Amino acid sequence: MQTLYGALAGVPRVDWKRERWDTPDGDFVDVDRLPGPAESPLVALFHGLEGGSNSHYARALARELQGRAWRGALPHFRGCSGEPNRLPRAYHSGDADEIGWMLRRLRAEARGAPLFAVGVSLGGNALLKWLGEDGEAKRVLAAAAAVSAPVDLMAAGDALGRGFNLVYTYAFLATMKRKGEEKLRRFPGLFDGRAMRRARTLREFDDVVTAPLHGFRDTDDYWTRASAKPVLGRIAVPTLLLNARNDPFLPAAALPVSAGVSRVVRLEFPDEGGHAAFVSAPFPGNIAWMPRRVAAFFEETMG
């Protein structure tokens, strides 16, 4: 654990350039940009649950892109940029439509340069779901990578509801409940506030808040319909799936197998790496390995 903390502490801050996009339904998202040459590849990064451009993996990836003189764009999911979004809805693990409109906007501005996408954790599942469901994804993206994606949300959610993993769950719930309270102030009666405050697991929170806000019957319906695993066989864009077998968020037994993915999907499941960390090098270590591996995969697809 000391190695992990030391590695994360060594990740430098990034001088992102922020801009605001209006969404098709009258909301907004904030997008943090990493400038670069106009003809260079553009890499979109979709963050994890309650993450953003200050997350360790975002800063590590930005450092890798800067070293390659590539451009970067990190669209924050609604409510994750430090300011509440306008509408009752927020974001969820199966937000494929949200991913789609963001990537199409970035494709339009890429001006012929390769557009790549990386999704980490929740963002990885949502990206994979879009890749498997959108028949035109190949016209938008040159390649994609999903890192530590909980592609089986039922298995992941149950894993986070027991044992030491509850430490992660409580950290997520702390910020999610604050956002829930803010939504109730603006939209009284939007959901059962007392039930939200009682929630001690993601299953309980999703049952009261996430599922009903986004058109799902309950947690089981949400986790089943939002999971990317069933659509991995339909992906047509070259895609890297990178998960550590010791990731506490997704048991190794729930990882996809080669027979369940399309021929353009590459499965890489190292034994170590935890969740979106992949610490390497001597003490205190660093987290540069994952961004290098992802960028190398993208470079490989460029020929």
Can you list the pairs that 100-109 forms with residues at least 24 positions away whose Cβ atoms lie under 8 Å? Answer: 100/130, 100/134, 100/140, 101/23, 101/24, 102/21, 102/29, 102/44, 102/75, 103/44, 103/130, 103/140, 103/141, 104/140, 105/21, 106/42, 106/44, 106/73, 107/139, 107/140, 107/141, 109/42
Half-sphere exposure of 128 (CA within 13 A, CB side): 36
Single residue among 226, 242, 269 that ends a domain in this structure: 226
Instruction: Rounding to the nearest 10 degrees, give the CA dihedral for residues 51, 57, 59, 64.
Output: -150
Q: Which of 56, 76, 92, 275 is catalytic?
A: 275
Q: Are strands 28-34 and 71-75 parallel, antiparallel or unpaired?
A: antiparallel
CA distances from 247 to 194, 203, 296 (A): 32, 19, 22
Tokens linked to 214: 């986004």
275 carries an active-site annotation: yes
Confidence bin at 1 (pLDDT 50/70/90):
very low
47 carries an active-site annotation: no
Single residue among 226, 256, 272 that ends a domain in this structure: 226
Q: Are residues 244 and 128 in the same domain?
A: yes
Confidence bin at 5 (pLDDT 50/70/90):
very low
CATH of residue 106's domain is 3.40.50.1820
**Domain total in the chain:** 2
Are 196 and 183 in contact by the 8 Å Cβ rule? The answer is no
Comparing C-alpha atoms, which of 37, 126, 41, 36 is closest to residue 75?
Answer: 126
**Least confident segment among 4-13, 23-32, 201-210:** 4-13
Are 107 and 115 in contact by the 8 Å Cβ rule? The answer is yes
Q: Is the pLDDT of residue 156 over 80?
A: yes
Return the bridge partners of 146, or none: 119, 241
Please calculate the CA angle 84-85-89 and round it to the nearest 5 degrees: 115
Confidence bin at 78 (pLDDT 50/70/90):
very high
Question: What predicted TM-score, i.e. pTM, was given to this entire model?
Answer: 0.95
- Cα separation, 50 vs 120, in Å, equals 12
* Dihedral sign from CA coordinates of 162, 168, 172, 175: positive
* Dihedral sign from CA coordinates of 115, 120, 126, 130: positive
Q: Report the percent of the chain where pLDDT is more than 70.
A: 95
Q: Is the pLDDT of residue 280 over 70?
A: yes
**Per-residue model confidence (pLDDT) at position 13:** 83
Q: Are residues 10 and 128 in the same domain?
A: yes
Confidence bin at 283 (pLDDT 50/70/90):
low
Q: Are residues 139 and 88 in the same domain?
A: yes
Comparing C-alpha atoms, which of 175, 120, 172 is closest to residue 151?
Answer: 120
Q: For residue range 247-279, what is the model confidence (pLDDT) as tens digits?
A: 999 999 999 999 999 999 999 999 999 999 898
Are 92 and 214 in contact by the 8 Å Cβ rule? The answer is yes
Q: Are residues 89 and 52 in the same domain?
A: yes
Between 242 and 111, residue with greater pLDDT: 242
Which residues fall within 8 angstroms of residue 53, CB to CB, at 6 or more apart? Answer: 14, 16, 32, 47, 59, 62, 74, 76
Q: Are residues 107 and 32 in the same domain?
A: yes
Q: Which of 81, 121, 148, 227 is catalytic?
A: 121
Q: Are residues 201 and 258 in the same domain?
A: no
* Structural domain for 182, as ranges: 154-226
Please compute the mean of the pLDDT values over residues 30-58 and round it to a whole number.
96
Q: For residue range 212-232, what is the model confidence (pLDDT) as tens digits?
A: 999 999 999 999 999 999 999
- Cα separation, 253 vs 235, in Å, equals 22
pLDDT, averaged across the chain: 94
Q: Which of 30, 152, 206, 247 is catalytic?
A: 247
Q: How many residues does the chain have?
A: 303
Q: For residue range 105-149, what is the model confidence (pLDDT) as tens digits?
A: 999 988 889 999 999 999 999 999 999 999 999 999 999 999 999
Confidence bin at 3 (pLDDT 50/70/90):
very low
- The H or E element that residue 237 is part of is none
* Dihedral sign from CA coordinates of 156, 161, 165, 167: positive
Single residue among 226, 255, 279 that ends a domain in this structure: 226
53 carries an active-site annotation: no
Q: Are residues 82 and 207 in the same domain?
A: no
